[in-house]
Structure 1
Amino acid sequence: MWRVWTETQRHGDSVGIEQRSLFKFLAAWIVVSFVVQVPFLGAQDEEPRQDDPENVSGSVPRPTVTEYVFVEGSLPYVPTANTIVSKLPLALRWTPNNIGIVTAPLFREQYDRVVSESLVNVSNVNIQTQNGVHDFFYIRGFDSLSSGLMLTDGAAEPEATFYQLYNVERVEVLKGPAGFLYGSNPLAGAVNLVRKQPTPINGLDFGATFGSYDNYEGTFDWNVSTADGSKSFRLNGLFRDQGSYRDGKQGRTKAINPAFSWQFDETGRVNVNFEYLGADFTPDSGIPVLGDNVASVDRQTSYQSPLDSSEQDVLRFQVDFEKVLSPSVTIRNKFYRRDLDWVSNGTLFNGVDPRVGLLVRTFLELDDRQALTGNQLEAIFSFDTGGLRHSLLTGFEVTHLTDLFTLDVSLLASVNPLDPTEGIDSTPFPLPGAGFAGDARSLVAAPYVIDQLQFGEMFHVLIGGRLDNIDFEDQASGRETNDSEFSPMVGLLASPHPELSIYANYSRSFAPPSARAVGELMPERSTQYEAGVKKGFSSISAEATFAVYQLERDNIAIPDDNGFTQQIGNQRSRGFEVDFAAEPVRGARAFFSYAFNDSELTNFAESFLVAVNPPILFVVDRTGNRAAFAPKHILNFWLSKDLSENWGIGGGGRFVSDQFIAEDNAFAIDAVMTFDAMAYYDFGTARLRLNLRNLTNREYFLRGFGATSVIPAPPFTAYLGVDFRL
């Protein structure tokens, strides 16, 4: 929540000869690829290759007007294709990455409301919280705020909010550096939300849910189309009043998403999307950590100022255009606008003063307005060169981001950590010079290219790269920088059997340095090596993946006690993942994932101010420690079965091993195993559903703020809902 200023203005320097050479290489690749395929453009009117987005054959699909921009109709529980790794439909079995996908049938069955809840179904994703006001998670040991990128329909999102699922049809997760397509900041992964699009049918779905702790929700999904299906309109809506087991931690969410689709001829379509989201929440600072224990108080206890609040307004506007020029050539354009208006006031803990034994509290007031405008122009070519089959995507993206914010810091009265009643309602006392402001603007121009190559029926290569040219200016500080960075990716895959694939990949990404960094400024970089095996079992409609990886992040910015930030940190994660998904018989589903992750701080030192006059810094070397919130083991499973035409049940469990809450490794959250269950009953055009979470009422904790607090996780909760389809 409080790192909003560090990611949206992370633009640095380092323009070098290497980047200029890579730019020439990238431009030459695009030109040569186009020239090579020109003779084939008019000669490839033979029978088109398979173009089903869920196609699992080895063929590289040719572009069609529906398969790239729009996901139509219901998706299966067990997906067989993705678009996040190449922006084109690619069968998972032919993808040289371990991609995580959660489709609407599964996350609706589990009653997942926001994206972080759905990500429990993806291996090696650790779900946490960011003071209860936005989604926050870790991918392969790296946090989503500083190392990840959220996308909606392929367009980047500003940070940070709860990404609602009321209008989403699938969630795709690319693990590892994703800069080769999506530019700066996805150092450890990217998550793409694919929204529901207008379809050529008429229908209305609506539902209501009631849950423990005064939770109420209503949703609707209305679609209408002309008789010929050329024009369609879809409207999705959400209203939710959200109570909490924690004192005074209520929230309210409202959202509306109208979308219009016009297929102006057999080979062209325009889609227009507008979405408004309003979210008001009370932040949760949690319960303080005292030494190696959590404060011995009731888990509902609040230590916060009554002035705490978080109000967000999010606007999304997007226009997608696509035109198939021939069986071999497609052009498409995506114009998008994202606005975030965020006013947040929150209490933070600064540890216990050993002299008086009181919990020191500060009060942060954030007023942040972000606006992101961008355009992606892409051309897709399908052609053969000798024995090679290509599906080549070339693109050029321009984005303009503005971030105007103020962050003020005040001091609250200290309170007794074991009885926080006296002084809890104190008036914040401003701390002069402790706050700061920003008026940042960045302009990015980035060509990118990715080519799917197929050698016969056995060998596949995925190769691509993107060159980001970033101009950054902060009018508040007077800082101006210009940066260029190339992000490559290479994936190799061999398929000795139609149901067996062996793959390996290499990728690299960057993030411009923090605007608060001092000294020599260097882009943060991440590098990943991954290899694995994928196996299909057609007899039981199952897919299995085993992957091993090493992911490193260098030049991490580490703030010290005096407010300066130095890029002196490195972190490395190594491990393996096992994923299995199956629909063995009609009406039965099974999902299993396990991840082992060894995440180590390979170079990490923190400085503490121990004297002011003269200033004396005490440096503590954390090298060799485990990274925060990087558990070594995460296991998840879910089973569901339709017992008859009307009844169905399901259930599953999740195990997360112990995890440190900070780089000092002084306090760890204990390992925990939780269980959930569901049941439904269909009658007529309606479905009655029951979802139960934390069946055993297990007490455990989630991320709080740094090394000073943890937040109690929800106890046993129940949700009863009814859905109607007309």
Structure 2
Amino acid sequence: MGVIKGSRRGRCRTMAPGVLVMAVAMTMNAAVPSSFAQSPMTETRLAQLGAQRNFEIPAQPLSSALVLFGQQSGLQVTVDGSVVRSLSAQAVSGTMTAQQALQRLLAGTGLTYAVSGGTTIAIQSAPRESEGRIELGPITVEGNKESGYGPVSGYKASRSATATKTDTPIIDIPSAVQVVPREVIRDQNATRLLDAVRNVSGVQGGGTSGNRSDGFLLRGFSTTRVAKDGFLSASSFGDVGFIDLVNIERVEVLKGPASVLYGQNNPGGLINLVSRKPQPKAFYGFDGTYGSNDFYRGEIDLNQPLTTDGKLLFRLNAAYQNTDSFRDFFVNAKRAVIAPSLRLALPDTTVDLQLEYYYQRQQFDRGLVAIGKRADLLPRDRYLGERFSRGPSSELRVNAVVDHRFNEAWSWRSSFRAAWGDQDRLSADPQGLRADNRTLNRRAADLRTDIGNYAAQTEVTGKFDTGFLNHQLLVGFDANFTRFRSSLRTASLAPIDIFNPVYGARPGAFGPATTQNRQIDLYGFYLQDLVSIGTQWKLLLGGRFDYAKSKFKRDGQIITDATDKVFSPRVGLVFQPVENLSLYASYTESFLPFVTAVSANGTPFKPEEGRQIEVGIKRDWLDGRLSTTLAVFQLTRRNVLTADPANPGFSIQTGEQRSRGVEVDISGEVMPNWKVFGSITYLDAKITADRTFAVGNQLASVPRWSGSIWTTYAIKGGTFDGLELGGGVFAVGRRKGDLNNSFSVAGYASVDLLVRYRINQNLEASFNVSNLFNANFVEAAVSRTEIYPGTPRSFFGRLSLKL
């Protein structure tokens, strides 16, 4: 919490709720005025004043201007309270050093500054004698450039709370974790989660479950489960709809097993979405977009303090989207999102309340089918369903978080989430090609699904020393209860000629419904300690014990009733020989229970296991403006189900899959106004043990090579002041389409462009082109009858108003 504090009888007035103290070390030498002796570490800290930054500080009272200066520079500022209240600051806008920005803020105020302790800028004025003057002690205006729970300035994130559940510098974390900031999302005009995570190494699209929700491949392993603000989606069955990004501040991807902090999960990694939170300053944003295929989208971002002291804050994010598609006979899709949030900011306690409601209605569509060994023989607009296919869904989420700080070392955080979702699907499902390779068998399916989820977490974090060891301790407990109900009816449906389709078939008589009820209760206790050993070594130790109880019923009959007790360890080591450089190694495990499968003798299966070894290098360059991560890993997925040779139709638990790879990520600012975000991945993901598929087969839809590069350049000053240009390439190599490796999917490269012009301080227009050269590609292949084509060349115009 940012505050202005005076020493007059302990008086305290809240200034900027939600803003934490932070000083980011830079390495650029700068000549700055100082009346204090400087150690080598102090000189490094002072380099922040000489680092080029983009400042946007409107004209306002000096006290609040200094808060923004602290946020945007990463410096802590102190000022004498007897003068700050009566002074104003002029506007500061553009790219400059922190020293230049501070000088402009103080121009004409009669104030100057000095550097104290290497981390604090002290604002000073000449002593004045005044009868009856009240002496105030130093006032601290605490600013934060970034926290792991809040927005990122530019393309480079310095901190994350996903990997450790504490606000930790990314360079101190012995795991690969990448953050896609809001600015990247905005520049690329991303509205789907897949559009954001395609920037991250080791992440690919995993299909949309019939145009219903996003699936992903992380380090070669599929998942439909995404976390939001630390809570996993309602169940392992995924979200009931696409995730909209209108209220997302940053998208974080933690690579590899994450069960030690999040419980049951797929081994490839975890995608965690950080919500946009209410802010101390009022602002109002309105965005309108029109694009190809009659794409309409409107967004609002309204932020308003509700009390004059800034203790109660409100924010509303909402979006409405209506679009047609490049796919034949597509009925326009609609999506609506509304997400109000409320924050109560007290001196030592913060309470956040958030409500989210999603509604979407779109046509059910499993894409194309493979013919022989190829997936590209049909035109990408070919639709193989029927007009009656549809899949409306809705979801309501309620979140509450309480943060309390006992003192500077110890804090407590408790959170609760309730979510309810439903989906109603009527579809024409492909069932396989006949021997003539042109007639596709189909069936009609009527599926109704309801999901309810209740989850709670409570955590205590503390910092303390034992001898020469510095500890950052996390102790937590969570509970998660999921209830999933579905009812499926099927009917006959005429086949379709995939080369000469004739539409209009109607379902036959629907049979009786098959009902399923799944109940999953999870309890977890976890402990983590990030130990600093001197200034160069950090040791991360963590462990979690899970108690999982699951029950699965089909048509009222119990199929499985299992209880699992699992321990998941994590250990990591970081060596930092010089500032801004980390060498790390780690070992982690994950688990995922089987809910619906049993062996031939009725015995429940053991949970699936993931085990990973990873080593890597993290480096910050150019005074901390640019960061790179290199990760090398081996990830093994064990207890995979495979066919039981003695009992056809049943499975045994002897399968194993392995993923090995190298990942490189880069993000930040190469030079003032020139930003870059990119990645490259080499991945060897294959079957290492199985009774159904051949050992050595590649995992489905996993390319050996993939990569992306996105960059923007903003012109400041001169004739083209306010103009910003950007572009990027997203490339994916050749893939196998299924575990049987029966067909292949060609590689591709898609080029995107951005042109943006800031008309004035409040209004800007932008133009995006997606897939500039109209590449014909497959976004994801799930099976021979579920192949999702990529979107052809599209244009989007956007107008943004900020007040």
Counterpart pick for 1:552 among 624, 627, 636: 636
1:526 aligns to 2:598 (yes or no) = no
Alpha-carbon separation, structure 2, partners of 1:134 and 1:566: 30
Alpha-carbon separation, structure 1, partners of 2:727 and 2:228: 29
What secondary structure is seen at the aligned counterpart in 1 of 2:671? coil
| 1:323-338 superposed matches below 5 A | 323-338=404-419
Matched to 2:764, the amino acid is: R
Say if 1:295 and 1:350 are closer, same or farther in 2 by CA, change over 3 A: farther
Alpha-carbon separation, structure 2, partners of 1:52 and 1:670: 50
Say if 1:636 and 1:695 are closer, same or farther in 2 by CA, change over 3 A: same
Matched to 1:243, the amino acid is: D
Q: CA deviation at 1:490?
A: 0.7
Say if 1:582 and 1:296 are closer, same or farther in 2 by CA, change over 3 A: closer
> Is 2:150–2:274's contact at 8 Å kept on the other side of the alignment?
no
Task: Judge which range, 207-216 or 156-165, deviates more.
Answer: 156-165
> Is 2:723–2:756's contact at 8 Å kept on the other side of the alignment?
yes
Counterpart pick for 1:408 among 484, 489, 502: 489
> Is 2:358–2:394's contact at 8 Å kept on the other side of the alignment?
yes
Say if 1:396 and 1:418 are closer, same or farther in 2 by CA, change over 3 A: same
Q: CA deviation at 1:341?
A: 0.8
Say if 1:428 and 1:458 are closer, same or farther in 2 by CA, change over 3 A: farther
Give the number of the structure with larger relative contact order, counting CA–CA contacts within 8 Å between residues 6 or more apart: 1
Structure-1 residue corresponding to 2:339: 257
Say if 1:74 and 1:223 are closer, same or farther in 2 by CA, change over 3 A: farther
> Is 2:218–2:269's contact at 8 Å kept on the other side of the alignment?
yes
Alpha-carbon separation, structure 2, partners of 1:630 and 1:70: 31
> Is 2:400–2:415's contact at 8 Å kept on the other side of the alignment?
yes
Q: CA deviation at 1:368?
A: 1.1
Task: Judge which range, 409-418 or 287-296, deviates more.
Answer: 287-296
| 1:372-387 superposed matches below 5 A | 372-387=453-468
Structure-2 residue corresponding to 1:439: 517
Say if 1:54 and 1:717 are closer, same or farther in 2 by CA, change over 3 A: farther
Q: CA deviation at 1:632?
A: 0.1
Alpha-carbon separation, structure 1, partners of 2:218 and 2:755: 30
Counterpart pick for 1:285 among 356, 366, 386: 366
Say if 1:566 and 1:66 are closer, same or farther in 2 by CA, change over 3 A: farther
Matched to 1:417, the amino acid is: I
Q: CA deviation at 1:54?
A: 7.8
Structure-2 residue corresponding to 1:243: 324
Counterpart pick for 2:527 among 440, 449, 453: 449
Q: Which runs of 5+ in 2 are unaligned?
A: 1-18, 27-40, 46-141
> Is 1:540–1:584's contact at 8 Å kept on the other side of the alignment?
no
Say if 1:213 and 1:78 are closer, same or farther in 2 by CA, change over 3 A: same
Alpha-carbon separation, structure 2, partners of 1:144 and 1:53: 35
Matched to 2:457, the amino acid is: Q
Say if 1:711 and 1:480 are closer, same or farther in 2 by CA, change over 3 A: closer
> Is 2:206–2:222's contact at 8 Å kept on the other side of the alignment?
no
1:633 aligns to 2:705 (yes or no) = yes
> Is 1:517–1:567's contact at 8 Å kept on the other side of the alignment?
no
1:574 aligns to 2:660 (yes or no) = yes
Structure-1 residue corresponding to 2:187: 109
| 1:350-365 superposed matches below 5 A | 350-354=431-435, 358-365=439-446
Structure-1 residue corresponding to 2:577: 496
> Is 1:295–1:418's contact at 8 Å kept on the other side of the alignment?
no
What secondary structure is seen at the aligned counterpart in 2 of 1:510? strand
Say if 1:65 and 1:135 are closer, same or farther in 2 by CA, change over 3 A: farther
1:83 aligns to 2:161 (yes or no) = yes
Structure-1 residue corresponding to 2:549: 471
Alpha-carbon separation, structure 2, partners of 1:549 and 1:599: 12
Q: Which runs of 5+ in 1 are unaligned?
A: 1-49, 607-620
Counterpart pick for 1:541 among 605, 611, 625: 625
Structure-1 residue corresponding to 2:298: 218
Q: CA deviation at 1:346?
A: 2.5
> Is 2:580–2:624's contact at 8 Å kept on the other side of the alignment?
no
Structure-2 residue corresponding to 1:600: 686
Counterpart pick for 1:137 among 216, 233, 236: 216
> Is 2:147–2:160's contact at 8 Å kept on the other side of the alignment?
no
Q: Which has the larger radius of gyration?
A: 2
| 1:1-20 superposed matches below 5 A | none
TM-score under structure 1 length normalisation: 0.86
Identity rate, percent: 26
Alpha-carbon separation, structure 2, partners of 1:649 and 1:463: 45
> Is 1:65–1:269's contact at 8 Å kept on the other side of the alignment?
no
Matched to 2:630, the amino acid is: F
Q: CA deviation at 1:247?
A: 1.5
What secondary structure is seen at the aligned counterpart in 1 of 2:406? strand
Structure-2 residue corresponding to 1:687: 764
C-alpha deviations, 1:613-671, integer Å up to 9, x for none?
A: xxxxxxxx421100101100011001100023410000010111001110111111101
Structure-2 residue corresponding to 1:172: 252
Alpha-carbon separation, structure 2, partners of 1:709 and 1:88: 40
1:646 aligns to 2:726 (yes or no) = no
> Is 1:569–1:603's contact at 8 Å kept on the other side of the alignment?
yes
Say if 1:689 and 1:558 are closer, same or farther in 2 by CA, change over 3 A: farther
Structure-2 residue corresponding to 1:696: 773
1:122 aligns to 2:200 (yes or no) = yes
Say if 1:668 and 1:297 are closer, same or farther in 2 by CA, change over 3 A: closer
Say if 1:557 and 1:469 are closer, same or farther in 2 by CA, change over 3 A: same
Q: CA deviation at 1:371?
A: 0.8
Structure-2 residue corresponding to 1:583: 669
Alpha-carbon separation, structure 2, partners of 1:546 and 1:52: 29
Counterpart pick for 1:344 among 407, 425, 432: 425
Alpha-carbon separation, structure 1, partners of 2:148 and 2:308: 20
Alpha-carbon separation, structure 1, partners of 2:498 and 2:650: 29
> Is 1:514–1:557's contact at 8 Å kept on the other side of the alignment?
no
Alpha-carbon separation, structure 2, partners of 1:205 and 1:525: 45
| 1:190-205 superposed matches below 5 A | 190-205=270-285
Alpha-carbon separation, structure 1, partners of 2:633 and 2:627: 20
C-alpha deviations, 1:275-320, integer Å up to 9, x for none?
A: 1000111122222222123475443221112221111111110110
> Is 1:295–1:417's contact at 8 Å kept on the other side of the alignment?
no
> Is 2:518–2:595's contact at 8 Å kept on the other side of the alignment?
no
> Is 1:527–1:553's contact at 8 Å kept on the other side of the alignment?
yes
What secondary structure is seen at the aligned counterpart in 2 of 1:584? strand
Task: Judge which range, 310-319 or 120-129, deviates more.
Answer: 120-129
Alpha-carbon separation, structure 1, partners of 2:277 and 2:180: 17
Say if 1:154 and 1:69 are closer, same or farther in 2 by CA, change over 3 A: farther
Say if 1:509 and 1:70 are closer, same or farther in 2 by CA, change over 3 A: closer
Task: Judge which range, 565-574 or 384-393, deviates more.
Answer: 565-574
> Is 2:550–2:561's contact at 8 Å kept on the other side of the alignment?
yes
Structure-2 residue corresponding to 1:182: 262
Q: CA deviation at 1:710?
A: 2.1
Q: CA deviation at 1:418?
A: 1.6
What secondary structure is seen at the aligned counterpart in 1 of 2:325? coil
Alpha-carbon separation, structure 1, partners of 2:595 and 2:561: 13
C-alpha deviations, 1:581-615, integer Å up to 9, x for none?
A: 23122211012211100001111233xxxxxxxxx
TM-score under structure 2 length normalisation: 0.78
Alpha-carbon separation, structure 1, partners of 2:422 and 2:583: 46
Say if 1:378 and 1:528 are closer, same or farther in 2 by CA, change over 3 A: same
What secondary structure is seen at the aligned counterpart in 1 of 2:610? strand
